[in-house]
């Protein structure tokens, strides 16, 4: 066991906020992670952190060591990435999280195209409609379809994403069609619990975003389930347009409030703050941005102009 490995383990424990989170990220047992940190303290002849069952706290020496060790390891990583990038293609395991609904379709195709173009990359793709914690769960990056807000993560916009309000024609005949977004407050709506503001749908009204409170007796946790509920005649739903495009064309569903743009969602790739991205993450981010620039129209998202990296969407 070399000093750099022990040092890196210690830094991972501090950044992850505990031994269990660091173990998950590194793919090693909690006992082994604890052993490495103990060996580092024995080697240095100093205690770097105080441990309890609930939390850990750095000692004064631990804080200084963490700061300087992080800089040293970053320099080592930068040098390794520089050599790898100059020598050849991105390599290693890339762990990506993506929404199940979208990962099964266009996002899945984009990600698999990246793997096909980079034979030295090994992919671990996890599809889940919840928002994963990248650091705590050990992911390199994630794809998210959401609005943008401040966060500790970096985000790069890939494309704008169109949503639509839909209903089954016979349901519209019974309840009537809304003339304005405010009319939805009196109509049964299907609630997607994955949305942070699931009981408030946002429409563009006269150039201004307007929040409309909605309610209904059905709450689900995926856009696919929203579509099924609407097809079952259980109410009005807010879904990605591409998901119901065939239903609308076949007359099974109809779009309501076509003159009011729904939502402000976009597709982003997000990843933790780093001074220098590893070659595999940088290659993935750049590939995804280029892929959506070329294929946005086919996917029903529409191309987006290249965007600077910014805060994470929620």
Q: Are 237 and 227 in contact (CB under 8 A)?
A: yes
Domains within the chain, CATH numbers bracketed: 3-84 (1.10.10.10), 92-158+267-298 (3.40.190.10), 163-255 (3.40.190.10)
pTM score above 0.85: no
Q: CA 219 to CA 196: how far, in whole Å?
A: 13
Torsion angle in degrees (nearest 10) through CA of 134, 137, 139, 144: -50
88, containing H or E segment: none
pLDDT attached to residue 76 = 82
Q: Dump strand ranges (E) for 116-257.
A: 121-127, 141-146, 153-160, 163-167, 188-192, 200-205, 208-213, 215-220, 237-240, 254-256
For residues 309 and 154, is the Cβ–Cβ distance under 8 A?
A: yes
Q: How far apart, in whole angstroms, are the C-alpha atoms of residue 151 and residue 311?
A: 5
pLDDT in tens, the chain (314 residues): 588 889 999 999 998 888 888 888 888 898 999 999 999 999 999 999 987 666 788 999 999 999 899 888 878 877 776 676 665 678 888 999 988 766 556 778 899 999 999 998 999 998 887 777 887 787 889 998 776 554 678 889 888 878 899 999 999 999 999 999 999 999 999 998 877 678 889 888 887 888 899 999 999 988 889 999 999 999 999 988 888 989 999 999 999 999 888 765 688 899 887 656 778 888 999 999 999 888 865 555 443 434 444 444 43
As beta bridge partners, residue 266 has 146, 160
Task: Tell me the CA distances in angstroms from 221 to 99, 129, 130, one per residue in order.
Answer: 11, 7, 9
Residue-wise pLDDT tens digits, 100-138: 766 556 778 899 999 999 998 999 998 887 777 887 787
**Per this entry, what is the length of the chain?**
314
User: How far from the centroid of its chain's Cα atoms is residue 302's Cα?
Assistant: 20
Angle between helices 241-250 and 223-231 (to 10 degrees): 20
Helix (H, G, I), strand (E, B) or coil at 203: strand
Cα–Cα–Cα angle for 257, 301, 183, rounded to 5 degrees? 15
């Amino acid at each position: 066991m070399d000093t750099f490995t022990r040092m890196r383990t210690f830094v991972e424990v501090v950044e992850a906020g505990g031994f269990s989170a660091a173990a998950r990220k590194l793919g090693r047992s909690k006992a082994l992670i604890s052993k490495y940190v103990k060996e580092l303290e024995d080697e240095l002849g100093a205690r770097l952190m105080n441990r309890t069952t609930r939390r850990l706290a750095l000692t004064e020496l631990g804080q200084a060591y963490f700061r300087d060790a992080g800089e040293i390891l970053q320099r080592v990583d930068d040098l390794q990435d520089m050599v790898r990038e100059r020598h050849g293609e991105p390599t290693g395991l890339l762990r990506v999280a993506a929404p199940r609904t979208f990962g099964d379709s266009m996002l899945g195709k984009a990600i698999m195209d990246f793997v096909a173009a980079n034979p030295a990359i090994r992919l671990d793709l996890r599809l889940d409609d919840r928002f994963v914690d990248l650091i705590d769960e050990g992911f390199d990056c994630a794809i998210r379809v959401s609005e943008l807000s401040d966060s500790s993560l970096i985000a790069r916009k890939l494309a704008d994403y169109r949503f639509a309000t839909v209903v089954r024609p016979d349901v519209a005949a019974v309840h009537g069609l809304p003339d304005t977004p405010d009319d939805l407050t009196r109509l049964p709506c299907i609630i997607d619990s994955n949305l942070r503001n699931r009981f408030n749908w946002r429409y563009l009204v006269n150039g201004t975003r307007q929040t409309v409170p909605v309610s209904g007796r059905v709450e689900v946790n995926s856009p696919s389930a929203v579509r099924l509920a609407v097809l079952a005649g259980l109410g009005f739903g807010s879904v990605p347009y591409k998901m119901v495009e065939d239903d609308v064309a076949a007359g099974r569903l109809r779009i309501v409030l076509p003159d009011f743009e729904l939502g402000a969602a976009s597709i982003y790739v997000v990843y933790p703050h780093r001074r220098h991205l590893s070659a595999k993450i940088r290659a993935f981010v750049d590939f995804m941005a280029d892929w959506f620039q070329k294929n946005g129209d086919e996917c029903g998202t529409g191309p987006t102009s290249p965007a600077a990296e910014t805060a994470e969407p929620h």
